[in-house]
Homo-oligomer: A and B are copies of this chain.
Amino acid sequence: MTKNTPPTESTPPSPGEPAGRRRGRPPRTESAGTRDRILTAARGEFSERGYEKTSVRGIAKAAGVDSALVHHYFGTKEQVFEAAIAVAFAPALDAPVAVADGPLEGVGERLTRFVFGVWENPTTRTPLLAIVRSAVNNDTAAAVFRRLIAAQLLRRIAAQVDLPDPELRAELAAAQLVGTAMMRYVIKLEPLASADLEQIIARVAPVVQHHLTDR
């Protein structure tokens, strides 16, 4: 259970930055730079190892800071994970606005194109895959995923739907998209994995639309 990472390999916190949970007032730029460096390291660690195998100490080491500084800025491992996901998901969190912009009868296609756009792009696919893997394997990671996706994405889409059970509708629409993405990009089931994207969109978008707006 013990690891042999030498604790002295980390860089100590910069002078003036508190090493504990106490909220001091570090110089603004220094603080922003360190925070970003920790978040970048956290995304890398979570992507590579998954939630369970990632430790705050490993993140600190990858960022070249002391573990105490990670705790100072973010708190627990769960909170670092949430912050790292929030950054990785930042473009996705604009989706509800983008999707809600425009006529309601095109919402299925806009949402479908948005989701596949994120999955088709290798830069956004890698962190997303890491999040999905962590959420499937670990209850704490699942809870973070749930809070973020449910509260920030699906509820906002549901808010546009003026029909009974808007949240259940948004979730079943998301289920079609999540299931299709899993089978195409993770399980790589054929012919779905190699099918032309437009062919998939043509079949999936009407179903997403149906869930959201059909009586």
Contacts and interface: CB of A to CB of B under 8 A. Distances in A.
Interface of A: 50, 132-133, 135-137, 142, 145-146, 149-150, 154, 165, 167-169, 171-172, 174-180, 182-183, 186-192, 195, 199-200, 203-204, 207, 210-211
B177 A146 contact: no
Nearest to A145: B187
A178 B182 contact: yes
B210 A192 contact: no
A150 B210 CA distance: 27
Contacts of A192: 168, 171-172, 175
- Overall SS of chain A's interface: helix
Q: State how many copies of this chain the complex holds.
A: 2
Contacts of A146: 187-189
Contact of A168 (B149, B154, B203): B203
A190 B176 CA distance: 16
Chain B CB within 10 Å, residue with most, of A167, A189, A204: A189
Contacts of A200: 172
Contacts of A186: 135-136, 142
19 contacts: A135-B186, A136-B182, A142-B187, A146-B189, A149-B187, A150-B189, A154-B189, A167-B190, A169-B203, A171-B189, A171-B191, A172-B180, A172-B203, A172-B204, A174-B179, A175-B179, A175-B183, A179-B180, A207-B207
B191 A167 contact: yes
A132 B183 CA distance: 11
Contact of A178 (B50, B167, B168, B179): B179
